[in-house]
């Protein structure tokens, strides 16, 4: 029975100390802020309990975040988890400056070869900034011939054909050696 009375007292909405007034404008600094997850904590100047802050309540244009040790003014309310900011702005209601860090984007950019400039980039020939270029080989970039007639292409093909023929002859030799050794 005594335990339930203690629980009721600790869960009341009254502030635990005078420094934790809710609903009024308070001054403080950003203790830390995770820009990737969009939340962090404020340390009030009056020495009260740390205040949770989510990016949705930050007053600023664009990507909302807080810089470390950035001075802010805020309003907060007590929730089941503790104090939570309901509005965060810079001094005298100005916009916050925010963090210099930006979260990494996990989106992979697709890199493809532009057949106009020959670079691996994220554009195609019709969107190339260099404008139309004369037709040339995409392998060696020579204007004398196209890719199908490239002498460098034929050199690599003959090398692969040679390596295949060597492996075939070596396999045939291995099979012959096995048949010779297995015959009585």
- 33, 67 contact by CB (below 8 A): yes
DSSP E strand boundaries for 35-169: 39-44, 51-54, 71-79, 82-89, 112-113, 120-121
Question: Do 87 and 21 belong to one domain?
Answer: yes
* pLDDT the model gives residue 33: 93
The average pLDDT across 146-152 equals 84
Which CATH number fits the domain that encloses residue 11?
Answer: 2.40.50.140
Is 134 among the domain residues? yes
- Examine the domain organization and report whether 88 and 118 are in the same domain: no
pLDDT at 89: 93
Residue 13 confidence (pLDDT)? 37
Q: Is 183 inside a domain boundary?
A: no
Please, which pLDDT band fits residue 18 given cuts at 50, 70 and 90?
very low
The model's confidence at residue 6, banded by pLDDT at 50, 70 and 90, is very low
Q: Which tokens sit at 60?
A: 């600023």
The domain in which residue 55 lies consists of 2-93
Residue 11 in this model has a pLDDT that exceeds 70: no
Same domain, 84 and 121: no
**Same domain? 130 vs 51:** no
Mean pLDDT of the chain, nearest integer = 76
Burial 109-144 (b: 16+ CB within 10 A, else e): eeeeebebebeeeeeeeeebeeeeeeebbebeeeee
Instruction: Identify which of 159-163, 164-168, 178-182 has the greatest average pLDDT.
Output: 178-182
99 inside domain: no
Binned at pLDDT 50, 70 and 90, residue 178 comes out as low
Is 177 within a domain? no
Does the global pTM surpass 0.75? no
- Residues 14, 75, single domain; the answer is yes
Report the CATH number that the domain containing residue 145 is assigned in CATH.
4.10.60.10
Q: Is the dihedral of CA 62, 66, 70, 73 positive or negative?
A: positive
Domain count, the chain: 2
Predicted local distance difference test score (pLDDT) of residue 80:
92
Q: Are residues 121 and 85 in the same domain?
A: no
Residue 97's pLDDT is: 87
| Same-domain status, 134 and 87 | no
In a domain, 46, yes or no: yes
56-80 pLDDT tens trace? 999 998 889 999 899 999 999 999 9
When comparing pLDDT for 152 and 109, which is higher? 152
Q: Distance of CA 184 to CAs 150, 178, 179, Å?
A: 54, 12, 10
């Amino acid at each position: 029975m005594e335990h339930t009375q203690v629980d009721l007292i600790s869960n009341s909405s009254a502030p635990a100390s005078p420094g934790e007034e809710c609903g009024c404008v308070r001054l403080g600094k950003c203790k830390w802020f995770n820009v990737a997850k969009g939340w962090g904590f404020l340390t009030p100047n009056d020495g009260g309990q740390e205040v949770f802050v989510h990016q949705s309540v930050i007053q600023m244009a664009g990507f909302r975040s807080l810089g470390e040790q950035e001075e802010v003014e805020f309003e907060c309310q007590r929730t089941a988890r503790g104090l939570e900011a309901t509005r965060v702005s810079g001094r005298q209601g100005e916009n916050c400056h925010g963090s210099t860090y930006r979260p990494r984007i996990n989106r992979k950019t697709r890199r493809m070869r532009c057949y106009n400039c020959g670079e691996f980039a994220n554009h195609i020939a019709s969107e190339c900034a260099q404008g139309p270029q004369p037709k040339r080989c995409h392998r060696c970039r020579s204007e004398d011939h196209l890719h199908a007639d490239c002498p460098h292409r034929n050199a690599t093909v003959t090398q692969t054909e040679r390596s295949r023929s060597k492996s075939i002859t070596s396999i045939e030799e291995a099979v012959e050696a096995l048949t010779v050794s297995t015959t009585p």
